[in-house]
Amino acid sequence: MSEELRICTIVAMVVVAVLFAWLSLMMAALESAVSRVTRANLNNLMIETQTDGELTPFTRAKKIKRIHTVQQLIVHRYPTASACAFFRISSNVLIGAMVVCIMSLLHYPFWAQFVSGVGAALIMAVVSVLMRPRTAGSSKPLEIMLRHATLASVATHLTPFIRKRDADDLQHRRRASELSDDEELEKIQLEQGKAAIDRLVESNRFDPEVSQMLRNVLMLSDTLTREIMVPRTDMICIEQGDTLESFLRLCSRSGFSRVPVIGSDIDDLLGVAYLKDAVRATAFNADARTRAIESIMRKPMYVPESKPADDLFHEMQQTRNHVAIVSDEYGGIAGMVTIEDAIEQIVGELDDEHDHAQHAEPEQIGPRTWSMPARTPITELEEIFEIDLDEDDVDTVYGLLTKLLGRVPIVGSTATTRGLRLTAVDSAGRRKKVSTIVVEPIGVEGTDETGTTATEDEPETGDEDKDTPHDEQ
Tens-digit pLDDT profile for residues 388-399:
887 777 778 888
Residue 294 has pLDDT above 70, yes or no: yes
Rounded-to-integer distance, Cα 112 and Cα 206, Å: 52
Reported as a pLDDT band with limits 50, 70 and 90, residue 173 is: low
CA angle in degrees (0–180, nearest 5) for 388-355-233: 60
Give residue 274's pLDDT band: very low, low, confident or very high (50, 70, 90).
very high
Give the Å distances, CA to CA, from 443 to 61, 209, 416.
92, 52, 11
**Average pLDDT of every residue of the chain:** 78
Question: Residue 78 has what pLDDT?
Answer: 78
What is the mean predicted confidence (pLDDT) over 238-258? 87
| Separation between Cα atoms, residue 444 and residue 412, nearest integer Å | 22
* pLDDT (mean) for 233-252: 87
User: Over 80: is that where the pLDDT of 247 sits?
Assistant: yes
The answer, yes or no, to whether residue 83 has pLDDT greater than 80, is yes
For residue 459, what pLDDT is reported? 43
Which pLDDT band holds residue 194 (cuts at 50, 70, 90)? low
Predicted confidence band of residue 233 (pLDDT cuts 50, 70, 90)? confident
pLDDT of 451 reads 39
Please report, for residues 248, 250, 298, 339, 429, the alpha-carbon distance to residue 256 in angstroms, rounded to integers and kept in the order given.
10, 8, 16, 15, 11
Tell me which residue of 261, 213, 269 sits closest to 241, measured CA to CA: 261
pLDDT of residue 261: 92
What predicted TM-score, i.e. pTM, was given to this entire model?
A: 0.48
On the question of pLDDT at 136 being above 70, the answer is: no
Model confidence at 466: pLDDT above 60: no
Residue 60: its pLDDT value, please? 87
- Whether residue 465 is predicted with pLDDT greater than 50 in this model: the reply is no
| Cβ pair 87, 26 in contact under 8 A | no
Residues 344-371 have pLDDT tens digits of 877 776 655 444 444 567 888 888 888 8
Residue 11 bridge partners (DSSP): none
Cα(120)–Cα(12) distance, rounded to whole angstroms?
Answer: 17
Q: In the predicted model, what is the mean pLDDT of residues 412-422?
A: 85
What architecture does CATH give domain 226-347?
Roll (3.10)
Q: How far apart are CA 179 and CA 182, in angstroms?
A: 8
- 99-132 confidence digits (pLDDT tens): 888 888 888 888 888 888 888 888 887 777 777 6
Confidence of residue 457 (pLDDT cuts 50, 70, 90): very low
| Range scoring the smallest mean pLDDT among 153-157, 247-251, 346-350 | 346-350
Question: Of all residues in the chain, what percent carry a pLDDT higher than 90?
Answer: 4
* Confidence at residue 203, expressed as pLDDT on a 0 to 100 scale: 59
Q: E-assigned strands of 251-366? A: 258-262, 269-274, 302-304, 323-327, 333-338, 363-366
Q: Which residues are within 8 A (CB) of 288 and not within 5 positions of it... i.e. 6 or more apart? A: 244, 281, 282
Q: Which of 222, 227, 18 is nearest to 120 (CA)?
A: 18
Compute how many other C-beta atoms are within 10 angstroms of the C-beta atom of residue 132: 15
| Alpha carbons 438 and 423: distance in angstroms, whole number | 5
pLDDT of residue 170: 53
417 secondary structure, DSSP code = E
Alpha-carbon gap, residue 422 to 259, rounded angstroms: 25
Say how many CA atoms lie within 13 Å of 400 toward its Cβ.
Answer: 32
pLDDT tops 60 at residue 453: no
Average pLDDT over residues 86-110: 86
- CATH code matching the domain that covers 355-441, chosen among 3.40.50.150, 3.90.1170.40, 3.30.230.10, 3.30.465.10: 3.30.465.10
In the predicted structure, residue 446 carries a pLDDT above the cut 80: no
Parse the chain into domains and list their residue ranges.
Answer: 3-167, 180-222, 226-347, 355-441
Question: Average of pLDDT values for 302-329?
Answer: 88
- 258 or 345: which leads in pLDDT: 258
